[in-house]
Amino acid sequence: MKLIRNTLIAASLLAGLSSLSFAQMGPAAGGEHMAKMHEHMSQRHTQHLTELKTQLKLQGDQEAAWAAFAQAMQPGAHAPERFDRAALEKMSTPERLDQMQAQRAKMDAQMQKHVEATKVFYGVLSAEQKKVFDNETLRFMHGMRKGAPRHP
């Protein structure tokens, strides 16, 4: 049970961090290269969700739960704002720390939304589907340990 919880938390954290990365790497921040990277990552995320849905072989009564889960996992849906470097330079160290803490609280709240959406979706899966879901999220976590998600 602890493995499942850790797997789901890690998947949610990745989604949350992806949101933060997308917010920080938007087209204005890094030009055309960053825009292409953002688009590639977004496509890859969509492809991963599509592959997961196919592997789960969902039943009609599970579609609503899938839709809610997939929506909650969308990168950038609730991305924290990017730090304004000029504003940070004008702040004292305690003010910067407060700003960082507020940003962290937003990320934690987003992760909590990912965790809750995952738990709700996981609850409607059959035992066999749970095995598939667990294996896929574990495979994804193994890739995270090496610095990037593994894809087939």
Least confident of 2-6, 49-53, 65-69: 2-6
Nearest to 134 by CA among 110, 118, 147: 118
Q: Is-above-0.75 flag for pTM? A: no
Q: What are the DSSP calls for 105-132, one per residue? A: HHHHHHHHHHHHHHHHHHHTS-HHHHHH
* Domain segments of the chain as ranges: 2-145
CA dihedral over 101, 104, 110, 116, signed as positive or negative:
negative
% of the chain at pLDDT higher than 90 = 38
